[in-house]
Amino acid sequence: MRIFPNTFFTKARNLIGLGFASSTAATIAASTSAASSSPSSTSSSDTGDTSSSYSSSSEAQIVHRKILKTKLCIIGSGPAAHTAAIYAARAELKPVLFEGWMANGVAPGGQLTTTTDVENFPGFPAGILGTDLMDRCRQQSQRFGAEVVTETVTAVDLSQRPFRVYSDSTTVEAESVVVATGAVAKRLNFDGAGDAPDGFWNRGISACAVCDGAAPIFRGKPLVVIGGGDSAMEEATFLSKFGSKVYIIHRRDKFRASKVMQGKVMSNPKIEVLWNSVVVGAHGDDKGRILGGVKVKNVVTGAVSDLKVSGLFFAIGHEPATKFLDGQLELDSDGYIVTKPGTTKTSVDGVFAAGDVQDKKYRQAITAAGTGCMAALDAEHYLQGIGLQEGKSV
């Protein structure tokens, strides 16, 4: 992780809105249906682009919607989404990709837009900025013909064919869909935890030890991991390879991690556990440029102490961006999309999932890209099976 001026960092996390009422899709669908039958609707069968207008009974205004028809719609903007777009475009599926626009304060590009140097993505021996990597992915998608829509998906309708994907001003009718909306790393809110200039996010505070833990600013320095589950145990163990000491700060008097993972942590001489404790603040080093320490409060005694550390890693879980699906796909108990083993197929035929939205274990850019490739190939095979890959246009 290189250190950049405060103005460099872009506030971003993931791209899709996390909560939508079940009536949203029905409302938009009804409006779109009305638009399609309206005398004012126009269409272009050659391009698959239809512009429509409808008058809302509840609002005295005309709402204009753009309707796109495609063989494949991709929802997402990270490595999984763009890899799917590249493969699909090269297969002449003419995909439409919704990359979102500052949904929940998130810029297009996914979680890589929140990091600085990416050093573990093949092909960049000197590393590459996360934002630069995603810019290149986007350019490559467009080079092969993917249509990128910079709007946030607000609802989907997977109950009929073609599927329908809605944003505020665009409706996409698609024969197949790839969901690649990612998962948001959970962060705590305390003084100094946010973005620059007042906070130390990306200046010593991270949510991915595997991504950032080997950076020079953390090597040989005391570090903190916040959490009590398996992820926290894994991250603390990983960081102990680089840091001089690793503190696990946990708000309770026992972990909820598996016994095996607890055993590894408790037997590691470089790891110390601070029980019944929470972080209540973070402050900079002598120059104020990077993280220099955290304020730790004991929830039993109320005592607050200062802990000198150079890195803090949140390991309190992730929230997959699946609420907008409104229960139309099978999810596991944590909200991740369930895919059939060895594939990206979901519970709905013709809908596929790639990247962190269906991967709670690895959560890496390169594994996300791999599943994006799988999703595009699975979609292509599906379209071949229903006779839409070649010859017949949507």
Residues classed as catalytic: 208, 211-212
| Helices 230-239/259-266 angle, 10° precision | 30
User: Measured over all CA atoms, what is the biggest interatomic distance in the chain, rounded to whole angstroms?
Assistant: 75
Q: What is the DSSP code (8-state) at residue 101?
A: S
Q: How many residues does the chain have?
A: 394
d(CA 129, CA 112) in angstroms, rounded, equals 8
Alpha helices for the chain (secondary structure H): 23-37, 79-90, 130-143, 209-212, 230-239, 259-266, 365-385
Helix (H) / strand (E) element for 117: namely strand 117-118
Q: Virtual CA dihedral for 149, 153, 158, 161, nearest 10 degrees?
A: -30
Q: How many CA atoms lie within 13 A of 124 on its CB side?
A: 13
Contact 25, 155 (CB under 8 A): yes
- Judged by phi (left if over 0) then psi (alpha if -120 to 50, else beta), residue 348 lies in beta
Query: Which two tokens mark 341?
Result: 């083993």
- 279 conformational bin, left if phi > 0, alpha if psi -120 to 50, beta if neither: beta
Q: What CA–CA distance (Å, rounded) separates 390 from 387?
A: 7
**Type of residue found at 270:** K
Are 135 and 10 within 8 A, CB to CB?
A: no
Residue 202's closest CA among 127, 297, 282?
282
Strand order in the sheet with 311-314: 205-206, 311-314, 222-226, 245-249, 271-274
* Cα distance between residue 273 and residue 247, in whole Å: 6
361: buried, middle or exposed (CB in 10 Å: 19+, 13-18, 0-12)? exposed
